[in-house]
Structure 1
Amino acid sequence: MHLKTPADELADIRAEIARLRKREAELRAAYLGNPELPKIGRWHKVELKTLRQRVFEPRLLPEEIRLDPAYMREKVTRVLRTSRVPVQAVDGAELPLPRPTPRARLFAGLSLH
């Protein structure tokens, strides 16, 4: 088993979540598009319910109200992004940067399993 840094683990988790969301969308489309698809499995069942609710549409308000600062508030969001690490060239071949040593387990008190 390879020791993963928190950054690598976060990127891997996000990739797995993206894969699962894609598969969920495929299955959802299949169920919505084919009413004959079996809805009872070995351990779970699928139910399709139609819900209706009233939704407030601020874009329908007059512009002088929508743009009035008295009706606005500031929202602060912190975004954590992941990206691939650049590679190093070694003897003309590109290799990934070296992985941290096992001592790198202590990332500001994070415990890695």
Structure 2
Amino acid sequence: MHPADELARIRQEIATLKAREKALREEFLDGRAPLRSNAHEVRIVNKTRRVFCRDRLPLHVRADPALWRDSPMTQVRVVPAAGLAEAADGG
């Protein structure tokens, strides 16, 4: 398998697993699933965290370029190869 195809397949598997995790989480939170099995127990823990609300700062502070910096970022994207979609559609 080509590494690009493998990466695309892995990302699809991750998306499927995340969707299933979300569904199970909702079942536990709604009380539709038991919290204990023979091997594992789910514990629901409520916490709070402190969040900085930068939108409450005055606009002149938020707009000050001296308070911002650019941060380089690298993305690896997987997209269908050109021509493959057309060939599958008969075009």
Give the TM-score normalised by the residue count of structure 1. Answer: 0.69
Which residue is 2:64 aligned to? 68
Q: Which has the higher contact order (CA 8 A, sep 6+)?
A: 1
**Which deviates more, 40-49 or 60-69?**
40-49
Query: Structure 2: any 5+ residue segments left out of the alignment?
Result: none
Partner in structure 2 of residue 47 of structure 1: 43
Structure 1 gaps of 5+ residues are 95-113
- Aligned residues: percent identity? 37
CA distance in 1, matches of 2:55, 2:72: 22
2:75 paired with 1:79 = yes
Residues 49-86 of structure 1: CA deviation (Å, up to 9, x unaligned) = 00012111101100000110111010221111112233
Q: Secondary structure at the match of 1:38?
A: coil
Equivalent AA in structure 2 for residue 31 of structure 1: F
Number of positions where the alignment pairs a residue of Structure 1 with one of Structure 2: 87
**Deviations 1:29-53 (CA, angstroms, capped at 9, x unpaired):** 111122x631112322110000012
Larger Cα-atom Rg: 1
Larger strand fraction of residues: 1
Separation in structure 1 between the aligned mates of residue 33 and residue 75 of structure 2, nearest angstrom: 39
Q: Which whole-Å CA distance do the structure 2 matches of 1:76 and 1:42 have between them?
A: 47
Structure 1 counterpart SS, 2:4: helix
Residue 32 of structure 1 aligns with an amino acid whose one-letter code is L
Superposed CA RMSD in Å reads 1.9
